[in-house]
Amino acid sequence: MLKLGVPSKGRLMEKTFDWFGARGVTLRKSGSEREYAGAVDGIDGMELVLLSAGEIPRELAAGNIHLGVTGSDLVREKLANWDSHVTELTQMGFGGADLIVAVPQAWVDVDTLDDLDAAAAAFRARHGFRLRIATKYHRLAREFLREQGVADYQLVDSQGATEGTVKNETAEAIADITSTGETLRANGLKILEDGLIHASQATLFRGRRRDWTDAQRATMKSLQNTLAI
Amino acid sequence: MAHMLSISTEARRLLDLFVAQGAQVVASDVLLPADTLLDLYGEDIRGRAYLTTDPLRGEMVLRPDFTVPVVQWHMQSHADPARYTYAGKVFRKQDSDETRANEYVQVGYEVFDGQNPAAADAEVFALFADALAGLPLRAATGDIGLLMAAVGGLRTTQARKNALLRHIWRPRRFKALLQRYAGKVPVPASRRALLAASDPFANAGPDIGLRSRAEVEQRIAALRADAAAAPISGEELALIDALLGLHETAPHVLSALRDIAVDMPAINSAVTRMAQRLDALAARGVDVETLEFEGSYGRTSLEYYDGFVFGFYAVDAPDRPPVATGGRYDALTARLGQGRAVPAVGGVIRPDLMEALH
């Protein structure tokens, strides 16, 4: 069996079903609505596995699923050296969101990373600790800020409602996902001009493990033909 | 197993060698409080060290190097001068290269002695060169102090010098700052608009977070002062580039530096220190005529070296991590010493990488 992992709920799941459906492959939940098992019609030898979008990168790397649909941000965040574990087969054109660095609008002196770095230096000297940036994307944020040469900051973990951390004074800035920027503005934040860390979208990935059977390879070939990828 | 045994035999040999030089053996916990390291190195340490949580002691880190424990040991021991040695495992996450070891033995030698820095630099380097003699290694050297002196001597504002000094160890940001201060890149439109605005806070949005309105105003004042400052001259920019671009044998570099110092007298004392160091190295039997020197060497390591820096690399495998590294870290002792600072120089050798050369 060739296992395809798909997000188990919400718009990402529906859009994924639509995307495959439009290309002649029908994905459906088997049994009741609450069950996380599924079926694939139109391709023999395929099995649908419904799981959390955040777990799909790890399961792909481990070889527990062979193909998976998830955000390109999650793959880069969850897997060190992501491109040695998975290959991007195709971007799917939905689920778009940008991982960005945002600061309070009240910081009229900060519009670029250069400004953020200077503000961080002054902040640390004044407050005695490094400027805090709240995020759940630790790897991506850290790599980006290191590459850009930003200093005197620290990342603080925030698994949800990250836009509220500045107002709550548990962070001074954030690195988070946004699609329209509406929530950011509502929380008094603005995006830095050069603060785009990664432009993410739903992507079909293939695990790079080489222990596939001939039957799995054949199924993969027929899927690629059907999807025209 | 035989491999591990020979590594520990080699570690023991090095430790004995350093003890014979008069070094006192220092022990350190494997599990260290994370706060000092985090404050010192920042986020980079999270990417490179294993952090864990203790229910009572808070965040802890698996020893990523011995530098901090040894400096703390010294600051409590009050011995001066002092020489220390240690051998033990350190632990480093390898985020991008699985073939690199994530735990390995380091044997170190550290000298806390402010009497004669050039002699102390030479002592550590020559000792390492002896300890590694016969192995197919190439030595690289540099001196962060030269670049710091050059920045300190720029004809520009102290604020700009401080900003450049802060980024000595981040070459990309350093270069971007230098280009901006030299007027080589256009001022961002947002910055121009801010400086031109009669009320910069007209569309400011709500005052949220710890960074206050007063802090923002202070920075605007600093930006106005910076906008009024004259650009760093093209000549000075070229001198910094020339300094960073040096890559030659040490005597050639020294004479090039003396040429640069004619137009940039601020580096004179750093150049003199380098000349003294080369003399001290020669007196210890190091062949300085063939010793390589790179103007930008040591700028991408963790930010604490601020003077002489060196590394020993496998001749046949330049991409492998260095077998030995070291340097001077005066500023670090000042930061960890709570008011006390002791000039310090030292380095570490990795017996596992020595073994891999056989």
pLDDT tens, residue by residue, B170-183? 998 999 999 999 99
Q: How far apart are CA A13 and CA A50, in angstroms?
A: 9
Q: Give tens-digit pLDDT for A34-57.
A: 667 788 998 999 999 999 999 999
Q: What is the mean pLDDT of chain B?
A: 93
Do A105 and A13 belong to one domain? no
Domain with A220, as residue range(s), is 2-96+202-227
Residue of A nearest to B160 (CA): A118
Q: Give tens-digit pLDDT for A174-186.
A: 999 998 889 999 9
Do A30 and A73 belong to one domain? yes
Query: If you average pLDDT over residues B164-191, what whole number do you get?
Result: 93
- CATH code (residue A186): 3.40.190.10
Do A118 and A85 belong to one domain? no
Q: State which fold the B1-136+342-358 domain adopts.
A: BirA Bifunctional Protein; domain 2 (3.30.930)
CB within 8 Å: A172 and B210: yes
Picking from B208, B300, B303 by the largest number of A CB atoms within 10 A of its own CB, the best residue to mutate is B208
Q: What is the pLDDT of residue A218?
A: 95
CB within 8 Å: A108 and B95: no
User: Using 50, 70 and 90 to split pLDDT, how confident is the model at A209?
Assistant: confident
Q: How far apart are CA B311 and CA B325, in angstroms?
A: 4
Query: If you average pLDDT over residues B195-203, what whole number do you get?
Result: 92
The letter for the amino acid at A203 is: T
Contacts of A106 (CB under 8 A, 6+ apart): A188, B201, B204, B205, B206, B207, B208, B209, B213, B216
| Residue in B98, B210, B216 nearest the CB of A127 | B210
Do A102 and A195 belong to one domain? yes
Instruction: Tell me which of B340 and B285 has the higher pLDDT.
Output: B285
The verdict on ipTM greater than 0.90 is no
Instruction: Enter the CATH code of domain B137-170+233-314.
Output: 3.30.930.10
Same CATH fold assignment for domains B1-136+342-358 and B137-170+233-314: yes
Do A73 and A130 belong to one domain? no
Do A83 and A116 belong to one domain? no
Do A57 and A130 belong to one domain? no
Hey, where are the domains in chain B? Answer: 1-136+342-358, 137-170+233-314, 184-202+211-230
Do A73 and A11 belong to one domain? yes
Q: What is the pLDDT of residue B336?
A: 85
Q: How many domains does chain A have?
A: 2
What is the percentage of chain A residues whose pLDDT exceeds 70? 97
Report the Cα–Cα distance between both ends of chain B, in Å, rounded: 16
Q: Give the CA count within 13 Å in the CB-facing half-sphere of A225.
A: 9
Do A189 and A222 belong to one domain? no
Residue B172 to chain A, least CA–CA distance (Å): 7
Q: What is the pLDDT of residue A33?
A: 63
Rounded to the nearest 10 degrees, what angle do helices B2-20 and B117-131 cross at?
150
Residue B2 reports pLDDT greater than 80: no
Residue A160 to chain B, least CA–CA distance (Å): 18
